[in-house]
Chain A
Amino acid sequence: DVQLVESGGGLVKPGESLRLSCAASGFTFNSYTMNWVRQAPGKGLEWVSSVSTGGTYVYYGDSVKGRFTISRDNSKNSIYLEVDSLRVEDTAVYYCARDPGAGNYLDYWGQGILVTVSS
Chain B
Amino acid sequence: YVLTQPPSVSVAPGETARATCGGNNIGSKSVNWYRHKPGQAPVLVMFYDSDRPSGIPERFSGSNSDNTATLTISRVEAGDEADYYCQVWDSGSDQWVFGGGTKLTVL
A interface vs B, CB < 8 Å? 35, 37, 39, 44-47, 50, 59-62, 95, 97, 103-107, 109-112
B interface vs A, CB < 8 Å? 30, 32, 34, 36, 40-44, 47-48, 53, 83, 85, 87, 89, 91, 94-101
| A105–B52 CA distance with the chains assembled, in angstroms | 12
Residues of B within 8 A of A112 (CB): 41
Smallest CB-CB separation from B33: which chain A residue? A105
Smallest CB-CB separation from B99: which chain A residue? A44
Report the minimum CB–CB distance from B91 to chain A (whole Å): 7
Interface of B is mostly: strand
A109 pairs with B42, CB closer than 8 A:
yes
Smallest CB-CB separation from B42: which chain A residue? A109
CB within 8 Å: A-B pair count: 61
Question: Given contacts A107-B53, A109-B41, are A46 and B98 in contact (CB under 8 A)?
Answer: yes
The residue among B85, B94, B96, B99 with the most chain A CB atoms within 10 A of its own CB is B96
Contact of A47 among B30, B41, B44, B95 (CB under 8 A): B95
Report the minimum CB–CB distance from B75 to chain A (whole Å): 25
| A59–B96 CA distance with the chains assembled, in angstroms | 9
Question: Given contacts A44-B83, A45-B34, are A105 and B98 in contact (CB under 8 A)?
Answer: no
A59 pairs with B85, CB closer than 8 A:
no
21 A-B contacts, Cβ less than 8 Å apart?
A39-B36, A44-B83, A44-B85, A44-B100, A45-B42, A45-B85, A45-B98, A46-B98, A47-B87, A47-B98, A60-B95, A62-B95, A103-B89, A104-B30, A104-B89, A105-B32, A105-B44, A106-B32, A106-B44, A107-B44, A112-B41
Residues of A within 8 A of B99 (CB): 44
Smallest CB-CB separation from A107: which chain B residue? B44
Residues of B within 8 A of A103 (CB): 89, 91, 96
Smallest CB-CB separation from A109: which chain B residue? B41
B95 pairs with A59, CB closer than 8 A:
yes
B85 pairs with A105, CB closer than 8 A:
no
| A55–B21 CA distance with the chains assembled, in angstroms | 32
Report the minimum CB–CB distance from B67 to chain A (whole Å): 20
